[in-house]
Amino acid sequence: MENKSYTIKDIARMAGVSAGTVDRVLHHRGDVSLSSYAKVQEVLDAIDYHPNMFAIGLAAKRAYRIACVIPAYVAADYWSSVAQGVRRAAEELQPFNVTVDFFPYTYALEASYADVCDRLSEEAVDAALIAPNFTEPTRRLATRLDDRRIPYLFVDFNMEHTHPLCYIGQDSRQSGYLAAKLLMQSYEPGEELVIFQHNQKENPAEIQMQRRLEGFMHYLGEHFDHLTLHHVLLNKEDASSNHVLLDAFFGAHPRALLGAVFNSRIYQVAGYLREAGRKMHALLGYDLLEENVKYLRSGEIDRLIGQRPGLQGYCGVKALSDHVVFKRAVTPVKYMPIDILLPENIDFYFEFE
């Protein structure tokens, strides 16, 4: 059909229904019979109707508030990238009366996370972006938001037995499976593999790490069932004790030449290797933290897997706004790419265009 602007009255005349019926269809207000809905939708499809989003923003009679529940962060860490993406989306949505408020929590402390969840469950918000952590507080919050009909979505990790509008992040098990496949391309007969974990690996907040490990071990079970595998437990905060521990480990296991880390802290292992003058055949980890990228460039780390945290935050706010403000359908799952970064391509990588 000829491209032109159509009013609600135009659409109503073409569909043979009232202007009020068209208004209810466009704004998802219900009280429309199936036959009338079909007539209006047929006209909308024929004229390729798209609502004027800026007009929606200018005509809005109230503001929309989105809550963002993510861990507290410092500059250049993983969660600062998520927050950067959230802020970028919020800036773009200002003309539509959308604001975003942060509800930070301490990552490894269940009490901190539970307190934020309990507070949010009573807040006057229109939607929530949540980086879920501990299981029970998340489920309590999800139930409360469901009861209040407040849409929410998860980024980074998808919590089972809840009803989010959407999940945005990687498929953690598939990511771990791919990590093993990449790492074992460097394997030579007789070499041993070491998985570096930290002293909080049993913390319920580390569910995503466990899923990556499951995928990793699945691949090894399919292709390398006789491989010698070591697990080294590092102290999350004590670099000096880690140095002593790693000296003893590598002294006792000189064939442990392949290594994997399933969180952002691969720089701890890489830093030790540089200080000790050691070199592993291949070392793989996650996330493009500044320290990780430094060691990728210098050769202590061979591969990093990126998760596009900034894009997760950006797409999360956009998806919630699509649903709440613009009444558009939202895809239930938006998997992030599993980006593989090498020294040869790291300088050309960026998250946003």
Q: What is the pLDDT of residues 113-136, one digit of tens each?
A: 999 999 999 999 999 999 999 999
The per-residue pLDDT of the chain, averaged, comes to 90
Indicate if 86 and 190 belong to the same structural domain: no
Residue 202's pLDDT is 57
- Is the pLDDT confidence value at 95 over 80? yes
Residue 352's pLDDT is 67
Q: Which domain holds residue 14?
A: 8-50
Q: Which CATH number do you get for residue 319? A: 3.40.50.2300
Indicate if 36 and 66 belong to the same structural domain: no
Containing 64, the helix (H) or strand (E) segment is strand 64-69
Residue 86's pLDDT is 97
pLDDT band at 343 (very low <50, low <70, confident <90, very high): very high
- Is the pLDDT confidence value at 3 over 50? no
- Is the pLDDT confidence value at 51 over 50? yes
- Whose tokens are 């999940």? That residue is 167
- Give the C-alpha distances (Å, rounded to integers) separating 196 from 82, 230, 243, 290: 25, 9, 13, 20
Domain membership flag for residue 349: no
Collapsing DSSP states into helix, strand and coil, what is residue 183?
helix
Q: Helices in 121-206 by DSSP H: which ranges? A: 135-147, 172-183
Can you read off the two tokens belonging to residue 296? Answer: 């990728």
Half-sphere exposure of residue 76: CA atoms within 13 angstroms, side-chain side: 7
Percent of the chain surpassing pLDDT 90 = 71
- How far is C-alpha 44 from the geometric centre of its chain's CA atoms? 34
Can you read off the two tokens belonging to residue 22? Answer: 């068209």
Collapsing DSSP states into helix, strand and coil, what is residue 15?
helix
Total structural domains within the chain: 3
Mean of pLDDT values over 228-245:
91
Residue 40's pLDDT is 87
Angle at 224 between CA 219 and CA 229, to 5 degrees: 95
pLDDT band at 205 (very low <50, low <70, confident <90, very high): low
Can you read off the two tokens belonging to residue 340? Answer: 């593989």
- How far is C-alpha 8 from the geometric centre of its chain's CA atoms? 39
- Distance (Å, whole) CA 57 – CA 62: 10
- Give the C-alpha distances (Å, rounded to integers) separating 238 from 198, 203, 338: 11, 18, 30
- Distance (Å, whole) CA 205 – CA 211: 12
Indicate if 157 and 77 belong to the same structural domain: yes
Mean of pLDDT values over 17-46:
81
Domain membership flag for residue 261: yes
- Distance (Å, whole) CA 150 – CA 147: 8
Domain membership flag for residue 2: no
Q: For residue 105, what are the β-bridge partners? A: 71
The closest alpha carbon to 132, from 80, 86, 97, 168, belongs to 168
The closest alpha carbon to 144, from 166, 174, 170, 114, belongs to 114
Domain membership flag for residue 346: no
- Is the pLDDT confidence value at 293 over 70? yes
Q: Say which residue, 204 or 11, is predicted with more confidence.
A: 11
Indicate if 283 and 296 belong to the same structural domain: yes
Mean of pLDDT values over 216-241:
92
- Is the pLDDT confidence value at 331 over 50? yes
